[in-house]
Structure 1
Amino acid sequence: MPRLSVIVPAYNAAGTIASAIRSTLNALPRDAEIVVLDDGSSDATAEAARGVLDARVRVLSRSNRGVAATLNDLIGATDSEYIARMDADDLVLPGRFRRQLGAMGGTVDAVFTTVVTWGSGMPGLPRPSAISEEDFGLHLLLTNPVAHSTMLARRSAVQDVGGYRVLPTEDYDLWLRMAANGARLRRLALPGLAYRVHPGQVTASAQWRRASWENAELAAAYSALAERLIGAPAVRITSLSIDDSRTPDEKRAELDSFTGLFESALHGHAPSAQRALRRKLAERRSWLSARLEEKAVAT
């Protein structure tokens, strides 16, 4: 069995899948494979993927079942020690997998990278900002700090929590459950991926975001991690913003309570990490305040 499997779910990606595979091959270490699963595309995705002639590439096809089911099928179709993610419309940057595998060590369960954005709008260059294993969970309580297609993880850590679930933001849900289960996650500062931005992607949809904020399973996963890290269950700030069962004052009080617990949990973390987390918390508090003010004006 290969040491690393790069799994690539693909749906109607005939125009980008070949370049995605080639960029992955260019960065692929020894003893690794790429496995593409065409999720019932209506275009020539599978044919384009099979057109990249390399023994390290496997291409599978079946009827459409959605991205979470496709990822679980890809995990089931591989048996490597490590699993890495790649999307059918992104590009792997040189050195990505070498740096991630080198950062795993004996205690880390998943390593992510920052990304360079390209496509619609101006290209985005990240500030080279790492997130340590000690700080990653607290970042998850504020926002999802990583792109799904940058993940490299121990297969055992993913399987220990049951793999992916079929719900919005299946990636964020997986990170929450892994962290709540004691997995150690980190983000490297250097970008490992050129992340394509385009108007039609699912994450650009307001409907998709709303579905994520309303999802009960995701809410439970978030609350479980909050209980582990700050000592009490909590509600996502995004979910709090759309909770019509609470008054604006009740929402502010809930956020103030969360802030107090979060601040207490910061003790013992590196000063630079505390500054980054406080800055992000302030951004999230401002975001909720703006949402509450907008709703007050609208009514």
Structure 2
Amino acid sequence: MIDIGVVMPVYNQVPAYLRIALNSMLKQTYRQFKLVIVLDGANLPTQQIARRFAARDHRVTILHKPRNQGLASALNDGFARLYKIPSIRYLTWVSSDNDYFPPFLATLRRRMIMSPPKIGLVYSAFRYIDAQGKPMYTRAFYQQLRQRQRLPKRHLLHHCFIGASFLYRKSVAQKVGNYRLEPVEDYDYWLRMSEICDIRFIPPILMAYRHRSPNSVSTELETPEGKDRFRQSLQQALREARQRRGMISQDINDEMIQTFIQENHLTIFRP
């Protein structure tokens, strides 16, 4: 019985990256999942690749949006479809340029099942790859990153450490609500989710995150407009999180943004 729902939002992706991401999902050792590919105003070559994969595997469905409406909207539409499947208990979303290792879903699901009900989100270690798929960074870098990922959830106000390998309960997601505040939609979501459930880190490396992909936050921040949008969204997410926690609000200036980016090594992810 299908009990995991997965959303893959896709705009215009490098064909080779998209094929790698889709192949990695269809090679998962745990096979009882539904994958919704949201074509968010994608160009014809991207559509054709996605539809070929959907045609060969009944677990894959296509949700086509003729006009690009952004990541948050694509995620919300994809999950809205998955919410309608009663047997689904767990949810995640995956990026169209990453590589998910065969035990990705199985390991996260097993750890979730083993966890008490108060654990609503399980997330794992991951590694970075470059545009050619080669490993990046040193052992010391990853030791520091893993140490950050093990921080208690209260530290989410200062560190976006969840990463791109995660699984959460459908029941918790329905309480959290929709994704919003691009381009920090995932960080804002984790802040809200951590207020209603506990979270748990597990050490296995379950996927490879393609750093500085054309659709990454780091690429978006190379423009003044992108940096300003990031600053405004981050400031709103943190201001509202502090208000919900009964804390004094704090303005976010450019220096604080740069510090946040450097300390978190841009572990706010885009598809």
Q: TM-score range by the shorter chain?
A: 0.7 to 0.9
Q: Distance in 2 between matches of 1:209 and 1:156?
A: 34
Partner Cα separation in structure 2 for residue 92 and residue 35 of structure 1: 16
- Deviation per CA, 1:88-139, whole angstroms, max 9, x where unpaired? 000101312121112212331111122111114862463383745xx43223
Matched, 1:5 2:43: no
**Matches of 1:122 and 1:154 in 2, distance apart?**
31
* Larger RCO (CA under 8 A, 6+ residues apart): 2
SS in 2 for 1:20: helix
For residue 51 of structure 2, what is the aligned residue in structure 1? Answer: 50
Query: How far apart, CA to CA, are the structure 2 residues paired with 1:100 and 1:90?
Result: 17
Asked if the contact 1:176/1:225 (under 8 Å) is kept, the reply is: no
Q: CA RMSD in A?
A: 2.7
Spell out, residue by residue over 1:51-107, the C-alpha distance to the aligned partner (whole angstroms, 9 max, x if none): 221121112211211100000000011132111111000010131212111221233
Name the TM-score, length of structure 1 as normaliser.
Answer: 0.70
Structure 2 vs 1, CA of residues 46 and 188 (structure 1 numbering), >3 Å: closer, same or farther?
A: same
**Is 1:203 matched with 2:214?**
no
Per the alignment, do residues 94 and 225 of structure 1 end up closer, same or farther by CA in structure 2, a change over 3 Å counting?
A: farther
What amino acid maps onto 1:12 in structure 2?
N
Whether the 8 Å CA contact 1:8–1:86 is kept in 2: the answer is yes
Match of 2:156 in 1: 140
* Residue segments in structure 1 that go unaligned for 5+ positions in a row: 244-282, 288-299
Instruction: Give yes or no for contact 1:177–1:225 (8 Å, CA) kept in 2.
Output: no
Number of corresponding residues? 237
1:199 offset after TM fit, Å? 5.5
Q: 1:44 to 1:28 in 2, by over 3 A?
A: farther
The residue number in structure 1 matching 2:266 is none
The alpha-carbon deviation at position 43 of structure 1 amounts to 3.8
Task: Find the partner of 1:162 among 152, 167, 177.
Answer: 177
Residues 1:60 and 1:28: Cα distance change in structure 2 (over 3 Å): farther
Decide whether aligned partners of structure 1 residues 166 and 95 sit closer, same or farther in structure 2, where only a CA change above 3 A counts.
Answer: same
Q: C-alpha offsets along residues 17-36 of structure 1, whole Å, 9 cap, x if unaligned?
A: 22211101212513212111
Identity of aligned residues (%): 23
Larger radius of gyration: 1
Counterpart secondary structure, 1:189:
strand
The answer to whether structure 1 residue 74 and structure 2 residue 78 are counterparts is yes
Mark the runs of 5 or more structure 2 residues left unpaired by the alignment. 264-271
Question: Superposition pairs for residues 51-200 of structure 1, below 5 Å?
Answer: 51-52=52-53, 53-63=56-66, 64-78=68-82, 79=85, 80-104=88-112, 105-106=115-116, 107-120=118-131, 123-124=136-137, 126-127=142-143, 129=146, 131=149, 135-147=151-163, 149-180=164-195, 182-198=196-212, 200=214
Rounded Cα–Cα distance in structure 1 between residues aligned with 2:170 and 2:130: 32
Is contact 1:109–1:157 with CA below 8 Å preserved after alignment? yes
